[in-house]
Chains A and B, each alone.
Chain A
Amino acid sequence: MFSLTPLEIEALRLSLLVSGVAVAGSLPLGILCAWVLARRDFPGKVLVDGLIHLPLVLPPVVVGYFLLVVLGRRGPVGSLLLDWFGITLGFTWKGAAIASAVIAFPLMVRAIRLSLESVDRGLEQAARTLGCGPVRTFFTVTLPLVSPGLLTGTILGFARSLSEFGATITFVSNIPGETRTLPIALYALTQVPGGDAAAMRLCVISVAVAFIALLAAEILARRVQTRLRG
């Protein structure tokens, strides 16, 4: 039987925690950005669009370094966080979650935005003429209609977070039990003599986790589709 070692359980738990928090924390902002990009026109929209998508095309180490410089203990934002709230992000799983969230954000926004753009505006207008306020319309009509996009965005973001390596190791280093997620544990093992067998096991675990996530996404997406069709 394939039983996990404590090191593997720890890395797996951290990966799920970091990715889960990254996605849950950035989802509301993701929906907001997607909605703004899909529904509003304003000067500088191209710039905002570009900025949101930047982490998708930048090498993750650039993002990690930027986070380190800005959010580190001596960085302009990091030092304020430390002085005001006593929060440090460096070397902690919270920092890892932020790195993952930034990297995964564009994928999430993209999926939700595409879904928003395909919503039949007539249904929203119908709700409005029947006396439904804009906020209520959004939550009771628009959001359910874009649920396939939300689902895809969440799963994509989660999967990207699971595989995050470059920004994470640059920003929060490699701390067992704090920031040593599956990819980082794997990287550390590739440098230890005789670590190949253990590294291979982590590869298998990573593949399994990614596959399960994709499979779950597929099944959920089908359910949502059938429900939307009524």
Chain B
Amino acid sequence: MSSPYLRSLLAGLVLCFAAGGPCHAEDVMVFAAASLTNALNDIAEQFSAKTGTHMSASYAASSALAKQIEQGAPAQIFASADLKWMDYLVEKKLVVADSRINLLGNRLVLVAPADSKLDKMEITPKTDIAALAGNGRISTGDPDSVPVGLYFRQAMERSGQWAAIEPKLARADSVRAALAQVERGEAPLGVVYATDAAISRKVKVVGVFPESMHDFIVYPFALVTGKDSAAAKGLLAYLSTNDAKAVWVRYGFKVN
């Protein structure tokens, strides 16, 4: 057989694996909160057109991603939808603490399917959210771990409604899964971020939770320890340039 050919092929394979990462040295792997999906994909496209560096991203609940990074997942940048999960990784020294920037802000909103009879209202701590749901369920991220659920839980605890709300929850495994449940009409109400509600035509915003009801919604970004290549640093820096800011703002994020 053509053994020289085979040998060079094998050598190539070995080199690839020996490099320890993707064969493409220019790829950056980002683990980002599900709510960042559309905006971050757009920015990545811009970035790739300008620099030739491609971004591949894994979008899920920040909780799931933080746990995966803890287990050694090949992320280079982590973007969380709350401070808690970033703090969790900082504490374990799994992200580079001084690369961390609290880049974005968002708002918590109550949504309903587009054909719902609910009118737009002003939400106050007195608004009886459980009553609005009637016999149906309120879909949001799992309030034990997923940030959007944690913010909602906080809002309900501060207004003394948590006991009434908890049995009515449909616990989704990310904010986008919760959004999809409302889009399909499975749940008559959902709690998502303003930016998620804005990208869906099948849901409408019933009300915006006042920021006094929960911690400020902050998205910290940071480099993952040991994976902070030049390309990763370049992408992280690009996320706060004016070009990127324009995209964040277009999707409704607040840029800090």
Contact = CB atoms under 8 A, between A and B. Distances in A.
Interface stretch (B13-21, B165-173, B215-223): B165-173
Interface in B130-152: 137, 139, 142, 144-146
A190 B144 CA distance: 11
Given A73-B186, A173-B181, A191 B63 contact: yes
A132 to B, nearest CB: 51
B172 A68 contact: no
Do most interface residues of chain A lie in helix, strand or loop, or is the interface mixed?
loop
A202 B64 CA distance: 18
A188 B171 contact: yes
B64 A173 contact: no
Contact of B67 (A90, A176, A190): A190
Contacts of B181: 173
A135 B95 CA distance: 70
Given A173-B170, A192-B145, A91 B61 contact: no
B144 A169 contact: no
A91 B173 contact: no
B145 A174 contact: no
B185 interface: yes
A173 B184 contact: no
Interface string B163-200: 00001011111000100010011110000000000000
B173 A174 contact: yes
Contacts of B63: 191-192
A187 B63 CA distance: 12
B59 interface: no
The interface size bin for chain B is 20 to 34
B170 A91 contact: yes
B172 A192 contact: no
A74 B184 contact: yes
A99 B79 CA distance: 34
Contacts of B173: 169, 174, 187, 191
A169 B177 CA distance: 11
A188 B186 contact: no
Contact of B171 (A73, A74, A173): A173
A175 B167 CA distance: 9
A35 B219 CA distance: 59
A86 to B, nearest CB: 10
Interface in A199-217: none
Contacts of B139: 173
A91 B67 CA distance: 26
Given A191-B61, A191-B142, A192-B145, A175 B184 contact: no
Interface of B: 61, 63-64, 67, 88, 137, 139, 142, 144-146, 167, 169-173, 177, 181, 184-187
Enumerate the 8 nearest inter-chain pairs by beta-carbon distance, A residue then B residue, closest first: A191-B63, A90-B186, A191-B145, A174-B171, A74-B185, A192-B145, A73-B185, A191-B64
Given A174-B172, A175-B170, 16 more contacts: A72-B186, A74-B185, A90-B186, A173-B170, A173-B171, A174-B142, A174-B171, A175-B169, A191-B61, A191-B142, A191-B144, A191-B146, A192-B63, A192-B144, A192-B145, A193-B88
Interface of A: 68, 72-74, 90-91, 169, 173-177, 187-188, 190-193
15 contacts: A68-B184, A73-B184, A73-B186, A91-B137, A91-B170, A173-B177, A174-B142, A174-B172, A175-B171, A188-B145, A191-B61, A191-B63, A192-B63, A193-B88, A193-B145
